[in-house]
Amino acid sequence: MEDEGGWEKHNEEDELKTIDVTLPKTMLPLRIAILRDFEIRKHIRCFGSTHTELNASEMLQKYRYRWLVENGLKDLVYSYFLDEMTGSDPEKVQHYFLKDGVPQIDIVVSLMFSHPKEKSVALLENANVPVIRAISLYNEVAEWEKNPQGITPVQLASQIFLPEMSGLVEPTVVGGKRIYFDKKTGMKITERVPVAERIGKVVKRTKAWLRLKHLANDQKKIAVLYYNHHTGKQNLGASYLDLFASLKVLLDSLGKAGYNLGENVSLTQETLKEMIMMQGRNISTKAPGELKKMVDTGKLVMIPVADYKKWYNELPQAFRTGVEEKWGTVDQTTLMTWGDKAKQEKYIIIPGLILGNLFIGPQPTRGWLEEADHLYHDITLPPHHQYLAFYLWLKHAFNTDAVIHFGKHGTLEWTPGKQAGLSETCAPDVLMQDIPDIYPYLMDDVGEGTQAKRRGYGVIVDHMIPGIRMSGLYKEYAKINELIPLYEQAKDQTPAVAEKYQEEILQLTDTLGIGKDIGVELNKDHFDELLDVLHDYLAEIRSASMPYGLHTLGVPLTGESLVSMVMAMLAVETDIPALDEIVAGIQKLDLKKMKQKPGKYIKEMEAIDTVSEVLLSKAILEKTPLEKIFSESLGKHYAAASPRQKVWLKQIIQRGIGYATSLGQCDQEIKSILNALNAGYVLPGPGNDPIRDPEALPTGRNFYGFNPEKVPTQAAWKVGKKLADDLIQGYLKKNGRYPHKTALVLWATETLRHHGVMESKALYLMGARPIWDGRGYVKGVELIPESELKRPRIDILVSASGLYRDVFPIQIGLIDDAVQMIIKAEDEKYENFVRLHTLETEQVFKEQGYTEKEAAEYARFRIFGAPNQGYGTGLNEAIPASGTWEKDDKLADLYINRMNYAYGRNVWGKKSQDAFKQALKGTDMVVHSRSTNLFGVVDNDDVYQYMGGLAMAVRNVSGETPDLFIADAKNPSDPKMVDFAKALGLEVRARNFNPKWIEGMQKNGYSGAREMAKFAENLWGWQVVTPDEVSKEMWEQTYQVYVADKYGMKLKEFFEKNSPHALQSITARIMEVERKEYQKFDEQMLRKVAVDYVESVARQGMACCEHTCNNIAMNQFAANILSVPGLVSPATMLKFQQQVKLSTGKDVKTPEWVKKAETKETKSAMAPDEATGETGTQKAEEVKGYELKEKKEEEASEISSSGASLAAILLVVAIVAIIGRGFWKGMKR
């Protein structure tokens, strides 16, 4: 219907209706709405721009007012002011915010967007209140409702990024446009309309923050959630954070601040760990016995399904429909559920501890591995019922006032929904409800932290990375370094001695498998030629960075760790040379020349580092006057130094003292968490690797990223261009031709560090470049003429992570613009592989039955990723669950199925499997970047799932594995391309096999053991996706270092005390490498690994990670390895079988020798009082996916007759065992 004026009616209330108007220029551009609640005598401030289309129009103000009044927040008053937040008249702003320095407001709701100003941030800091970002869209609300992106790319920077720089949180859409045409006049009408439900969400969240502000600490209920995503007793924690030490620090701080911890104020760290291990773990449905053990403690939260149904039924219908499509109805749920037969009641289990008003528990698993269809066929997966029940229980039963997601990172922010600007049916919005979310987060992962801010409503409190140290040379590597100069001295004078040195060097390098790392076969034939390569590699190991242990929340670095960290920060050249360059220059040494042949100058470079360390130690720890330090430490060299060198030295040591001060302020991490729990303002600041960017210090701030509109920067373009040239020339030199196609992995986290190096590389490979305006904003791309390029245009394939899609949609458009431009370029002198492959692919598609239009469209796709609302390749779930697959073709199919969605300027998430497979064909190289001094390629599962998964997909589609390279930009002043095999070997040798790295991790107990087990898991990931890149020697060294403890680190005792299941996980994984036939290990080594595993399970129970409890074939394999009597006792083998049965409900077949040796005494090892769970003993499932070796006569013969010496040893062992048993029986009698 129409009103009298002819305007078309719509479904909003008349009072909220307005039309597009242009405001008089004299009207002030900003307005503030003050809401005063007379009961609490505090205020809420709502900022809004009156802009030309009434961004904060009277209609929106009225609507917000109605909601606020209905929720008990009264007396809306308007006032206008000019540019006060930018500081032109700060006194006026003080009038609204502060009175005599005392805050007069409780919370700010801001519709403004502008570049942050120091004065406005300072004002908010003084007011110390949260600032909620309420978004009024530039586009139509209907478009936002339908768009899976939510906030469109053009709005992302102004609506979300810039407000984040001012510390604004919880970005929520509250209104936007409605455009229609008047039927009588044909006039286009633009209305501002509210999104009623979203305004209601802002009001509810505002009230939750107000409650935190005014509730006494001893009345607040807080939930602290840690992570046990991949189930397993060894796998609780967060990235590079000491879980139990940090929890203890937090609990102590909460207790001192007056929070009610019940009787647990003096809880020790060890007791806390024991309680969590007993009742605070996630359990897979594959381990029913483990769940029974936890239920039997009587200390778990058990939600009657009937209660959960009530909460669940209040959720939006559309959301519930999606849940039930994947997980069934509430009554059908099985994950983390328990049935009480006596009460005929079904419960949903919430693991964790309740300590007074504090709940500590594990965020639920995502459930990908609970059903094979979910993992291998589903692209996105809504939260399962126990996941929902967990958060609903926090809200409705525990009455949580705030949640603390404890470290990097949770999974809530990765559940399906819009990419930013969530709606009521987006999973993160449903889960978080109106609960304030405080999120301590690793400072060096701004990308994933941004996801927590935008999709999880997290208020970030960034925390420090572990201290970084130089690896140094150790044991065998130090020995090789000593032998090389001895060999070179002896080869001309005493050849026979030189030959012995040569043999020793070759024996060591062969045992360690170094040849694989450096891409050469080390032998006598070309020994002298390759010696420099080997020596340079040792120098790289020596100077590589490694984390020394883990960070404990709020605890600063001290002593040697502090000095080493500062030294690492000063190793980056900035406006002045790096510290080592300055020291070398003063000592008349040419460091740049040394770095060209580092192997020859290891001793000299060690001496330079020693002097640097002494300078910093005296300045930072002893606080000695600088001139005294310089003259004592550098002596005559300092006296002879040039004035400029002296100035540089003083500047850099003073800078180091400043860095040490900033590093020492990480106690702010705990202070910021406590302030956030009081509804305070967390000061914003840039996040990054502090070695690359010291401005990221101090920690304890609400970090933000880099403006996407400036990516790539001109500095990043120079680096990316250089790296692309190096890549091309290296390939040309090796293969005698130019590469035709290069695949690049793009991550948001990496781009936020390097500011567009990989994007620059993608553009330059094709022969395109960015166009910048005078302010450094990227305005487009242009073709580089072939006369300037002077080489072929290399085709590209881009694999973008889901987070990259969310954070950098502008860059996806830019790269696609370049692709489409270059397809049209008809070069004459050099080949244009972008155009050539497009035309070839177009023809292929026509022959496959595509229409001409379809063929042309699909042939032009170059950027692929997961679908909208989807994240990850799935390989990080599937590869650890090695009992669910046999060959990697299943994994390649999983990767292709997940990552075949096309993106570009005019396409966003279009399923394009044929186009993706065609794009994979002919890929010569795969390139990923590393711009962090902390993370590497084996300390996380993301690199292998993206880079390795891409390489595996290429291999399975085209039959050949592409070359793999890392674009190493962790030192921005020294970027380089590194062959992946070298990068992998360098990291493993500098860190995971290094006694210094192990020592650091041992200091962190359980969490350090977890890092060791994670290393083996991620090495396994690389073994699967790139079988040729991981050598047998690497696994043998893993065994030697961690199982055999060849460096005497007392690792067996360490694991037994802190986390026996971490070592169990490592031994299980080594056996799985053999079982899956990726490597063939020495029989003796394999038996020792099996003995360790079986004894551990028998003694400690199962780890119940994916490759133990969820892999009965591996457990049977372990038993089969021990088919020869005497390796373990019959009692141990029977106890092992019992533990497997107890945890999984499945049987491991008893070896024949155990059956024969079974006695009444060994039978007693199987206690009758333990069961598999409330469902009773399950029928043993047929074991598949392995071959029982004892079935083969020749293999049985080989095992039982592996040499007279082994047979003799086993005979002696058996005799001793019999005699020993008789002796102990006699003693008992």
CA-based radius of gyration for the chain: 32
Q: What percent of the chain has pLDDT over 70?
A: 86
Name the 3-class secondary structure at 1047. coil
**Closest of 133, 132, 139, 136 to residue 153, by C-alpha:** 139
Q: Are residues 385 and 517 in the same domain?
A: no
Task: Find the helix or strand (DSSP H, E) in which 441 lies.
Answer: strand 437-442
> What's the pLDDT score for residue 53?
35
Q: Which two tokens stand for residue 99?
A: 């009175």
pLDDT of residue 13 exceeding 80, the answer is no
Residue 1228 forms part of a structural domain: no
**Closest of 550, 513, 470 to residue 994, by C-alpha:** 470
Q: Are residues 520 and 461 in the same domain?
A: no
Query: What is the average per-residue pLDDT within 262-285?
Result: 92
State the Cα angle at 257 between 255 and 261, rounded to 5°: 30
Q: Which two tokens stand for residue 9?
A: 């009616």
**Closest of 238, 282, 307, 233 to residue 1096, by C-alpha:** 233
pLDDT of residue 439 exceeding 90, the answer is yes
105 close to 145: Cβ distance less than 8 angstroms = no
> What's the pLDDT score for residue 40?
30
Q: Are residues 200 and 233 in the same domain?
A: no
Cα dist from 625 to 85, 89, 566, 580, whole Å: 44, 44, 18, 20
Region of residue 110 (left: phi > 0; alpha: psi -120 to 50; beta: else): beta
Query: What is the average per-residue pLDDT within 858-869?
Result: 97
> What's the pLDDT score for residue 99?
78
Residue 944 forms part of a structural domain: yes
> What's the pLDDT score for residue 89?
55
Q: Are residues 397 and 491 in the same domain?
A: no
pLDDT tens digits along 787-838 = 999 999 999 999 999 999 999 999 999 999 999 999 999 988 999 999 999 9
Total Cβ atoms within 10 A of residue 1097: 28
Task: For 155, list phi and psi in degrees, rounded to 5.
Answer: -95, -10
> What's the pLDDT score for residue 1212?
38
HEC string of 589-646 equals CCHHHHHHCHHHHHHHHHHHHHHHHHHHHHHHHCCCCHHHHHHHHHHHHHHCCCHHHH
**Closest of 431, 610, 637, 466 to residue 1008, by C-alpha:** 466
* Nearby residues of 466 by Cβ (< 8 Å), 6 or more positions away: 240, 547, 548, 549, 550, 551, 934, 1000
Task: For 472, list phi and psi in degrees, rounded to 5.
Answer: 75, 165
Task: Find the helix or strand (DSSP H, E) in which 303 lies.
Answer: strand 301-304
pLDDT of residue 881 exceeding 50, the answer is yes
- Which among 419, 440, 465 is the end of a domain? 465
Question: What CA–CA distance (Å, rounded) separates 380 from 387?
Answer: 15
- Which among 486, 519, 543 is the end of a domain? 543
Q: Are residues 146 and 224 in the same domain?
A: no
State in Å, rounded, how far the first CA of the chain is from the last one: 102
Residue 198 domain boundaries:
14-212
Task: For 72, list phi and psi in degrees, rounded to 5.
Answer: 85, 15
Share the mean pLDDT of the chain.
88
The residue type at 994:
N
**Closest of 609, 617, 611 to residue 634, by C-alpha:** 611
pLDDT of residue 54 exceeding 60, the answer is no
Task: Find the helix or strand (DSSP H, E) in which 651 lies.
Answer: helix 643-663
Question: What CA–CA distance (Å, rounded) separates 392 from 1110?
Answer: 29
Residue 1200 forms part of a structural domain: no
State how far Cα 109 lies from the chain centre. Answer: 31
Highest mean pLDDT among 81-90, 762-771, 1116-1125, 1191-1200: 762-771
pLDDT tens digits along 895-945 = 999 999 999 999 999 999 999 999 999 999 999 999 999 999 999 999 999
Name the band, by pLDDT with cuts 50, 70 and 90, for residue 71: low
Q: Are residues 1086 and 1050 in the same domain?
A: yes
**Closest of 796, 815, 540, 551 to residue 669, by C-alpha:** 551
Name the band, by pLDDT with cuts 50, 70 and 90, for residue 403: very high
Task: Give buried/exposed letters for 829-856 (b at 16+ CB in 10 A, else e).
Answer: eebbbbbebbeebbebbeeeebeeebbb
Q: Which two tokens stand for residue 459?
A: 């208020």
pLDDT of residue 785 exceeding 80, the answer is yes
> What's the pLDDT score for residue 187?
85
Task: Find the helix or strand (DSSP H, E) in which 809 lies.
Answer: helix 809-823
Q: Are residues 566 and 530 in the same domain?
A: no
The residue type at 112:
M
Hunting for tokens 């497979």 — which residue is that?
917
Name the 3-class secondary structure at 759. helix
pLDDT tens digits along 998-1029 = 999 999 999 999 999 999 999 999 999 999 99
Name the 3-class secondary structure at 693. coil
**Higher-confidence residue: 495 or 22?**
495
Query: What is the average per-residue pLDDT within 193-214?
Result: 91
Question: What CA–CA distance (Å, rounded) separates 395 from 435?
Answer: 7
State the Cα angle at 1004 between 1002 and 1007, rounded to 5°: 105
Average the pLDDT over each of 71-85, 178-192, 422-436, 889-903 and give the range with the smallest value: 71-85
Could you tell me where the beta strands, DSSP code E, fall in 747-851?
768-772, 778-783, 795-800
pLDDT of residue 97 exceeding 90, the answer is no
Residue 74 forms part of a structural domain: yes
**Closest of 217, 190, 204 to residue 18, by C-alpha:** 190
State the Cα angle at 860 between 859 and 865, rounded to 5°: 100
1008 close to 245: Cβ distance less than 8 angstroms = no
Q: Which two tokens stand for residue 69?
A: 């009044």
pLDDT of residue 514 exceeding 90, the answer is yes
Q: Are residues 656 and 519 in the same domain?
A: no
1055 close to 1062: Cβ distance less than 8 angstroms = yes
Query: What is the average per-residue pLDDT within 944-957?
Result: 98
Q: Are residues 872 and 907 in the same domain?
A: yes
Task: For 781, list phi and psi in degrees, rounded to 5.
Answer: -130, 160
Average the pLDDT over each of 44-48, 83-87, 198-202, 1165-1169 and give the range with the smallest value: 83-87
Query: What is the average per-residue pLDDT within 395-419?
Result: 97
Angle at which helices 385-396 and 305-312 cross, to 10°: 80
pLDDT of residue 1164 exceeding 60, the answer is no
Average the pLDDT over each of 137-151, 176-190, 397-411, 840-854 and give the range with the smallest value: 176-190
Q: Are residues 913 and 865 in the same domain?
A: yes
Name the band, by pLDDT with cuts 50, 70 and 90, for residue 525: confident
- Which among 411, 434, 465 is the end of a domain? 465
Query: What is the average per-residue pLDDT within 1032-1041?
Result: 98
**Closest of 947, 953, 942 to residue 965, by C-alpha:** 947
Question: What CA–CA distance (Å, rounded) separates 555 from 269?
Answer: 15
> What's the pLDDT score for residue 94?
67
Query: Cα dihedral sign for 1197, 1203, 1206, 1209?
Result: positive
**Closest of 1158, 1107, 1160 to residue 1134, by C-alpha:** 1158
Question: What CA–CA distance (Å, rounded) separates 473 from 488?
Answer: 20
Name the band, by pLDDT with cuts 50, 70 and 90, for residue 638: very high
Q: Parallel, antiparallel, or unpaired for β 98-99 and 102-103?
A: antiparallel
Hunting for tokens 């979310």 — which residue is that?
437
> What's the pLDDT score for residue 121?
85
Question: What CA–CA distance (Å, rounded) separates 458 from 449?
Answer: 9
> What's the pLDDT score for residue 190?
85
Whether the link from the prior residue into 116 is cis, omega within 30° of 0, is: no
* Nearby residues of 454 by Cβ (< 8 Å), 6 or more positions away: 160, 171, 413, 419, 420, 806
Question: What CA–CA distance (Å, rounded) separates 919 from 797?
Answer: 7
Average the pLDDT over each of 40-54, 83-97, 374-388, 542-556 and give the range with the smallest value: 40-54
Residue 1042 forms part of a structural domain: yes
Question: What CA–CA distance (Å, rounded) separates 1022 from 943?
Answer: 9
Q: From edge to edge, which strands make up the β-sheet containing 30-37?
A: 76-81, 30-37, 42-49, 107-110, 131-140, 169-181, 188-194
> What's the pLDDT score for residue 706?
93
**Closest of 859, 1026, 837, 834 to residue 946, by C-alpha:** 1026
> What's the pLDDT score for residue 1224?
37
State how far Cα 919 lies from the chain centre. Answer: 28
152 close to 139: Cβ distance less than 8 angstroms = yes
Query: What is the average per-residue pLDDT within 30-47?
Result: 36
State how far Cα 1011 lies from the chain centre. Answer: 14
Residue 138 forms part of a structural domain: yes
Query: What is the average per-residue pLDDT within 155-161?
Result: 93
* Nearby residues of 1141 by Cβ (< 8 Å), 6 or more positions away: 289, 1147, 1148, 1172
Q: Are residues 446 and 494 in the same domain?
A: no
Residue 1196 forms part of a structural domain: no
Q: Are residues 730 and 602 in the same domain?
A: no
Average the pLDDT over each of 24-38, 312-326, 378-392, 1168-1182 and give the range with the smallest value: 24-38
Q: Which two tokens stand for residue 504?
A: 């020793």
Residue 509 forms part of a structural domain: yes
Task: Find the helix or strand (DSSP H, E) in which 358 lies.
Answer: strand 358-363
Q: How many domains does the chain have?
A: 6
